[in-house]
Each structure stands twice: as C-alpha cells, then as structure tokens.
Amino acid sequence: DHNSLALPVGTTLDRFIMRKQEDFPYATGELSQLLRDIALATKIVNREINRSGLIDIAGAYGNRNVQGEDQQKLDVVANIRFIRALRNGGEVCTIVSEEDEEVIQTGNNQGKYVVAMDPLDGSSNIDVNVSIGTIFSIYRRISPTGTVGNEQDCLQRGTHQVAAGYVIYGSSTMLVYTTGNGVNGFTYEPSLGEFFLSHPNITIPASGSVYSINEGSADSFSAGLASFIAYCKQQSYSARYIGSLVADFHRNLLKGGIYIYPPTQKSPSGKLRLLYECNPLAFIVEQAGGKSSNGYTRTMEIEPTGLHDRCPLFVGSKDLVEKVEEFLAAE
C-alpha cells in the first residue's frame, strides 16, 4: 500500500494529500479538499504577514476580543481570510475562532466538518518581527447533515479530532499537520506558491534539555511545578521561551523539550484555550510520540464545557511531561 512507499521529500502538499487520501477507508475527498482550503488561506495570510510593516495592518485594531485582549489588525485579517476560505471551500458547516465569541455558521449545512482555530497565535509578536502562527483542529460534525451546526458539534473532546495542524510564519513558513497517521511538515516556496514535503514523519525526541515557561509568573507556580523548574536548572537544561506558542512548540517538537503554560495568578486555568490551542497541539505531539496533559489528565480527554475554555498545558517530550507530572503528583 502507499504507506510503505514513503513519499519523497519534495512532494507537493497536493500530491501528498492525494496519495494519503487513498489510505482512508470510504475517503470521499472532503477532508482532502478541506486541507487544501486551509493551505490556500495560509498562503494569503503569509503574504499579508510578510508585508505587515509595509501595508497598514500592523498594530492594534482598536477592539477587544472575547478573551479581553486588544485585537491586532492581523488577528482580524487572518480571521477573515480563514473564515472566507473555509466558507468558500464548502466542506465546513461551523467554525470556532479565538476571535469570535459565538460559533460562526458558514452556511454550508451539507458540510461534514467543524473547525476550531486560532487564526493568529502570538499576536503580541507581530510588530517586533518574531515568528507567529495559526493553529487549527478539525472534527466531524455530530448533528445531522443538512442542519445548521451547533455548539455540541464544537464541544467534542480532543480524542475526536479528525485532523489538526499549525502554520509557523518564521524564517520559513511551514505547515505541520496530522490526520492520525503520523505528523508531516511542509515548507512553503513563495516564488512557486507551493508547499513541499520537507519534514516527513516528524517524531519528537523522547527526552530533551529545553524547558519553555514564562518564569515571570514563578511566584504563582505550585510547589510541584517550582520543584520541576528547579530540577531543570540542576540538570542545566536550556530555558527557551519565545512567547509565541507555535514557535516554542515547533522548536521542541523537532529538538525535544517541554512547553508549560501553568495556572497563574492572572489566569487560574492557564492562558491557553483547550479547543484551538491545547487540543490540536496535543494531537500532533501524541502522533509524534510525545505527551500532553493539564499536569494530571491527558489533554485530549478533557471534556470541553465552553468554546473558549482555558486549560493548563504541559506538552512535549514524553520523559519530560512524565517527569513534571511526577513532581506535581508528589506535591
């Protein structure tokens, strides 16, 4: 079967999706089309990000989102681009976005899929030219085809994800995603407008010597977490924290390490959102051989109660996540 034929590096995303689709029983091509729709939106957003210093989309939009954050213009631009691409693609009935309080109905009531997305992650880094990202999670709808999608379609636990991925707009723009058969990375060639397979079958090192956490919140760390951070220092691990989740996660996925966003004074349930930040990255890291939890429970088994639920995130190399969980259990 095609799986055994490892697709050569340099395969285009389109060809890769086509070949992988054959691995799906009853694949009817909708998920493949949906992945193409997302790739199209990332190309458009990538172009706008690369020009954000030149055209007037840097800086604040002058609006607060449901998170209580000052929306950046690029937050809004990316949100519009992804919603439009998913609406025009026809495969998605309902969308959850960090930037919208309520679910967005696309009008595609025949669409079989629901998408939860963080259209632009790391917005505070846009104006200082630090890597930023997009994160998405795909579910099959529960409600009957032909009806308007509803909140239950969107509040499924992470184990029900059909696909998940992220884009990192960094020194190069990459799309990394899984459909439950491993993780593959594609690098964008802007002069051709194509994504090419550059990182086939990504696996995260079982251990690592990088820890990523905002130590500015150390005063609110639990005793167990404080002990783990002291342990990292005794081991002379490297502290690497970009403050852009996708960039921090991507580095740790390739090199090994752990990313932690714990409960803090300001965010007692952590700052990151379960539906469109924690769950998609948890799916990817598990498919790459790593682990993700809230410190106690596997991220993908946490039952969502609200579209914008926040959830502590301990994600990365298996040994490091298990190590911090030991420290937390002992406290």
Residues near ligand AHG, by CB under 6 A: 69, 98, 118, 121-123, 214, 243-245, 248, 271
C-alpha closest to that of 153 among 114, 117, 108, 105: 114
Q: Tokens 């937390």 — which residue?
A: 328
Based on CB atoms, which residue is closest to ligand AHG, 218 or 330? 218
Based on CB atoms, which residue is closest to ligand AHG, 89 or 133? 133
Segments in 22-94 forming alpha helices (H): 30-50, 73-89
Is residue 318 annotated as involved in ligand binding?
Answer: no
From the CA atom positions of the chain, what is the Rg in Å? Answer: 19
Is residue 209 annotated as involved in ligand binding?
Answer: no
Which of ligand AHG, Mn ion, none does residue 271 bind to, with CB < 5 to 8 Å depending on kind?
ligand AHG
How does 174-205 read in b/e, with b if 16+ C-beta sit within 10 Å?
bbbbbbeeebbbbbbeeeeeebbbbebebebb
70 binds Mn ion (CB under 5 A): no
The whole-angstrom separation of Cα 158 and Cα 137 is: 9
The whole-angstrom separation of Cα 197 and Cα 327 is: 39
The whole-angstrom separation of Cα 27 and Cα 300 is: 24
Is residue 241 annotated as involved in ligand binding?
Answer: yes
Which of Mn ion, ligand AHG, none does residue 63 bind to, with CB < 5 to 8 Å depending on kind?
none
Binding to Mn ion, residues 89-128 (CB under 5 A)? 98, 118, 120-121
Least separation in angstroms between CB 168 and ligand AHG: 11
Based on CB atoms, which residue is closest to ligand AHG, 111 or 270? 270
248 binds Mn ion (CB under 5 A): no
The whole-angstrom separation of Cα 251 and Cα 254 is: 5
309 binds Mn ion (CB under 5 A): no
Least separation in angstroms between CB 244 and ligand AHG: 5
Based on CB atoms, which residue is closest to ligand AHG, 111 or 257? 257
The whole-angstrom separation of Cα 188 and Cα 39 is: 10
- Which of the 8 DSSP states describes residue 59? S
Based on CB atoms, which residue is closest to Mn ion, 70 or 319? 70
Q: Which residues are annotated as a binding site?
A: 98, 118, 120-124, 214, 241, 271, 277
Q: Which residues are annotated as a binding site for substrate?
A: 121-124, 214, 241, 271
Give residues in contact with Mn ion (CB under 5 A): 69, 98, 118, 120-121
